[in-house]
A and B are shown apart, each in its own frame.
Chain A
Amino acid sequence: MKQKNKANEIHLTDSFKRLNWLQKGALAFFLIILMITTFPIVLILMIGLLPTITVMYTDRRNYDKQIIIGCFNLAGVFFYLFRVMGDYAAHNGRFDIVGDVTMLILMLGAAALGLVLYNELPALYIYFARSNYKHRIEKINQRLEKLSEEWGIDIPASNNEEAEVKNR
C-alpha cells in the first residue's frame, strides 16, 4: 500500500531536474516577474494558505486532511482574495488590507473549521454506526428469541461477543 502511494506521489523536484538550465532559468525569471507583478495576491495567498501549507508539509500523505483543510482554507481565502483583487484595481495595490484582523480570522478560522471537521466527523460517524449495529443486534436477538419460542430452535449463544460490542 505504501509502495503504491509512493508511486502515485508527484515528484516536482524530479520534474524540475529534467528541465535544462535554460528552461529552469526562464521558469525562475517568469515566476519572479509574476511575483513582483502580483505581489499583494501572492502575499495574501502565502499568509492565508499557511494552515494548508503546514498540513501539506506535516501530513504529506494524508490527502483527506489536506483536501478538507485546504478546501475550507481556500473557501475563507477566496473572500479576501477577491476583495484584494477589487481593491488592488481601485487603490492601485494598497496593502493595508493585509492588516485586517477579521479577514485573517476568516481565512485561518475556515481552515480551523476544516481541521475540526476532519477530526470530529469520523468519531461522530463511528458513534452513529455503532448505535446502529447495536440496534440491529437487538432486533436480531428479538427475532431469534421469537423464533426460538415459536419453533423451539436452539440459538447458539454469543453473549460474550455481544458484551464485547456493548463495551466498545
Chain B
Amino acid sequence: MAENLNTEQDVDTYTEVQDQENAVIAGKYLMKERFEIDFAEHISWLDNNGAKAYAVSDRIDSTRRLFALVCSNETSPRMTILPYLKSIDNPALMKMVEYGVINFLPEESKNMALIYEMPLGGKVFEKGISNIDLASNNEKFRKVALSLMGLNDAFKGMEMTHRAIRADNLYYKDAERTEIVVGDCAASFPAYYQPPMFEPIESLMADRQARGNGTFRDDIYSIGMVLLCLACGKDIGRDLLLPQVLQQKLSKGSFTFVCSLEKVPTTYSSLFKGLINDFADARWSYSSVFNSLEGKPINHTINLAPEKAKRALNIDRQKVYTATEIVYTAHLNIDAAYELIVQGKLSEWIKSSMEDEKLASRIDALAKQELSSGGNKDLTVARACILLCPNMPIRYKGITFFPDGIAKAVFLQMKHLQSVDVYVDIFGSDLIRLWYQEQEDLRSSANITDFKLYILRREIGYGIERIIYDVDSDIPCISPLFGKELVYAPQNVLRALDSSFNEQDISKSPYDRHLIAFLRCRMGKKIDNILADLNSSRDELKAAAVMHLYTNLQNKYGPAKLNNLTIWLVNFLKVIIKVYHNKKYQKYLEKELVKIAKTGKLYEIVELLENEHALEKDRIDYANVLNEANLLINEKNKIINHTDKMDEEAKEAALRFASVLAMMIMTASFAFNLISWVLQ
C-alpha cells in the first residue's frame, strides 16, 4: 500500500511537470517555463539544416536576443550531441541556450526546438557573396582561422564532429561584425545539408543521409573550404552539383579543382593545401595552421592527391589510375568490376602498378572465395572496394554509406515507407565488420557481431528495427503508433501513445516492432523477459507483458493520468480477462476496467487483473466445476447409453415386487381363511 502511495506521488509530480511543459499561450509555446517561442515571427534568414527559425523571448532576461530552430521531423536532430552543445561556450560557435521537444503549432506536431543566441550581425555570406574582406586583412583572417581550428579542437576533445561548417552557416555574433561564429550543426543528420564543395571526397561518395558523424578531419576540410571562401569573398562552387564536384575532385584533387574555379590568394595557398588535402591523415591540425599563419616553417610536405599509377586499369573502357578512382568507377560498373576481380586482373594491376603484394593477395583470396562459393557480384565488389580503399564508404546495391550513418539511412527509408530489403542484406552480410576491421583508428560498436543474429530473428524486439535503434541513439522511434508525436526516450512513449490515441485504431495492438525494439535498446536487458512474453504464442501473455511494460513506464516516468491509453489498453487487455473462467467475474472485471479507464492509472489495471487471490479462487472453482461437469456428463451418458439395461432392471424389479405382493396376498388369504375356519 505504501509502495502504491509512493508511486502515485511520483506520478503526480510528473503530471505537474508535463502540464507546465505543455503551456501554449496565444500561438506561442512556453518552453521550460522560460522561453517563449513565437510561431508568428518566422525569421527566414536563420532557417538552417532543414529547421525553421522563430523569434524567442526570454521571460527571465528580456534583453537577451534569442531564436529557436524548430527541427524538421523529416530527418532527426543529433540528440546525442545536444547536451554537449549546450555546455560548450566557444567564441567560434553559435551559443546553444536550451533545447527540448515542443508543440510545433503550425504543423500541429511535436518537434525538437533548439534555442540559440541571435547572431546580431547577420549572415557572413549573403546570396553567396561575403560581406567581409578577409583577404586583405591578415589579422582578421588569422583570428577567424584559428578560432575555427580551435572550435574543431574543442569538438575533437569531446569526441564530436560539427559536420555543418559551410559558407552559408557563418554568422556575425555581434552587431559590429567583429566575431564570426559557426551556426547550428544539430538540427539534422550530420553533413546532410552540406554543399558538395565543403565535403571531402569520401563523404561525397556516400549517400547524404548515410554520411555518418565522420571525423574531425572532415571538419578540417570544411574549415579549409570556409576559409577559402572567406579569402575569396564568395561561396565557391555554390551552384555546382554533387556528381560534377565529385568527378572533378576525384580527377584533379580538391585543391586543384578549387583553384580551377577561383583564384586562390597565394598568401594562404599552403594553408589551404594543408586543410583541404584529400589525404585525410595529412590535413593540418591547429598547430600547423598556427605555424603557417605565424610564418613558421611547416615540417611535413603536402601531398595533395594520391599518386597516380603509371599504368591505367580499364573498368568498362574507363581508365582509372588510383584506388579511389577504382572504387568510384567500380561502384558505377559492378559487372565489369566483378569480372576484373574474379579474373584476377585487379590483383595483377595492384601488384604491378601499386606494388602492394599484400593487398593483391587479399584480392586474389577474395576472388578464389567468390569462384568457389559463386554468386553475389555486389557483395564481392563491395568487399574488394573495402580492401582497396578502406576510408571510402561501403557501396552495396546502389546504397553507399558509412557504417555509422546507415541507421539514419534506414530511418529515412522506413519513414518514407520504402523497402529496406537491401539494408537487411547489408546487416546480414559481413560488410560492416570487414569495413571496421580495415580502419586503423575506428572501433566498431561492441554488438556488431549481433547484427546477423538480430536479422535472422524475426521476433518482435529484434530485426532491423533493433539494429537501427541500437547503433544510433540520435534517431527517434518511428513507430506509426506515435502519429505526429516525437519520441526520443522511454519517458515520452506513454505520453505520445496517449496523445496519438485519436489517430489510432484501438482494435489494434498498442505496440509494434519499432516501439518494442526502441524500448529494448533504450531500457536495456531489464525488459528481456517482456520480449520473451511478447514473442509467446499466447495472447494473454503478450497482453500481460505490454500491461507490465507500460505500467512500469508510467510508474517510473509518468504521467499520472493516461486516459486515452488506458481505454486503448483496456480494449487490448480483454484477453487477460478471459484467463478468468468465471463469466460473472469476467463481467465484473470489464465493468471495473471501464471505471479504471476513467482514472487513467495503469497500475490499477495490474492490481485488478493480477489479483492472486481471485486467480487462485477462480482456478480452484474451475477445477471443481470441471469435475462436476464430467460427473454429470458421465451420468448422462450412462443413462443415454444403457437404457435397455435399465429397462431390464426395472422389469426385474417389477417382477420381484409382483412376486412379493403375490406371496403376501396368498399368505394373507391363507391366514384369513384359516382363522375363519378355526373360528367356525
Contact = CB atoms under 8 A, between A and B. Distances in A.
A46 interface: no
Interface string A104-129: 00000000001001100110111011
A83 B640 CA distance: 54
Interface residues on B, range: 35 or more
B584 interface: yes
A158 B655 CA distance: 33
B584 A118 contact: no
Interface string B646-674: 11011101110111011101101110111
B582 A122 contact: no
Contacts of A75: 662, 665-666, 668-670
Contact of A137 (B636, B646, B653): B636
B662 A133 contact: no
Contacts of B62: none
Contacts of A126: 647, 650-651, 654
B241 interface: no
Contact of B639 (A136, A147, A153): A136
A14 interface: no
B641 A151 contact: no
Interface stretch (A37-45, A53-61, A66-74): A66-74
Interface string B567-593: 000000000000001111000000000
Contacts of A76: 669
A85 B622 CA distance: 76
Given A114-B662, A121-B654, A140-B635, A153 B640 contact: no
Nearest to B669: A75
Contact of B673 (A81, A124, A143): A81
Nearest to B622: A151
Contacts of B622: 151
A99 interface: no
A151 B659 contact: no
Contact of B643 (A114, A125, A133, A147): A133
Contacts of B298: none
B679 to A, nearest CB: 10
Determine the main DSSP class of B at the interface with A.
helix
Given A75-B665, A147-B628, A122 B633 contact: no
B583 A149 contact: yes
B647 to A, nearest CB: 5
B659 A64 contact: yes
B179 to A, nearest CB: 77
B641 A121 contact: no
Nearest to B664: A71
Contacts of A143: 628, 632
A122 B668 CA distance: 24
A64 B584 contact: no
A144 interface: yes
Interface in A132-152: 133, 136-137, 140-141, 143-144, 147, 149-152
A37 B366 CA distance: 136
A125 B621 CA distance: 40
Nearest to B649: A129
A71 B643 contact: no
Contacts of B418: none
A26 interface: no
Nearest to B628: A147
B659 A153 contact: no
A79 interface: yes
B662 A152 contact: no
B668 A141 contact: no
Contacts of B266: none
Interface stretch (A4-12, A17-25, A159-167): A159-167
Contacts, number: 133
A29 interface: no
A78 interface: yes
B651 A125 contact: yes
A79 B654 contact: no
A114 B650 CA distance: 19
B625 interface: yes
A141 B637 CA distance: 11
A122 B629 CA distance: 33
Contacts of A141: 636
B301 interface: no
B581 A152 contact: yes
Given A71-B666, A122-B655, A136-B639, A150 B628 contact: no
Between B636, B647, B676, the greatest number of chain A beta carbons within 10 A of the residue's beta carbon is seen for: B636
Given A71-B665, A78-B673, A137-B640, A155 B633 contact: yes
Given A129-B646, A133-B646, A144-B633, A165 B640 contact: yes
A67 B632 contact: no
B665 A151 contact: no
A94 interface: no
B182 to A, nearest CB: 69
Nearest to B663: A71
Given A67-B659, A82-B677, A156-B633, A122 B666 contact: no
B447 interface: no
A72 B650 CA distance: 22
B659 A150 contact: no
Given A79-B669, A82-B677, A151 B640 contact: no
Contact of A68 (B625, B636, B647, B655): B655
A124 B653 CA distance: 11
A121 B652 CA distance: 10
A123 to B, nearest CB: 8
A168 interface: yes
Between A133, A137, A165, the greatest number of chain B beta carbons within 10 A of the residue's beta carbon is seen for: A133
A125 B670 contact: no
Given A118-B655, A126-B651, A78 B640 contact: no
B637 A158 contact: yes
Given A133-B646, A137-B640, A125 B654 contact: yes
B632 A140 contact: yes
Given A71-B662, A72-B665, A151-B582, A140 B654 contact: no
Contact of B640 (A82, A144, A164): A164
A112 to B, nearest CB: 13
Interface of A: 64, 67-72, 74-76, 78-79, 81-83, 85-86, 114, 117-118, 121-122, 124-126, 128-130, 133, 136-137, 140-141, 143-144, 147, 149-153, 155-156, 158, 161-162, 164-165, 168
13 contacts: A68-B659, A71-B662, A74-B670, A78-B673, A82-B676, A117-B661, A121-B654, A140-B633, A152-B583, A153-B625, A153-B626, A161-B641, A165-B639
Given A67-B663, A155-B629, 4 more contacts: A128-B650, A129-B649, A144-B633, A150-B625
Listed from nearest, the 10 A-B pairs whose CB atoms lie closest are A71-B662, A125-B654, A75-B669, A82-B673, A71-B666, A129-B650, A122-B654, A122-B651, A161-B640, A82-B677
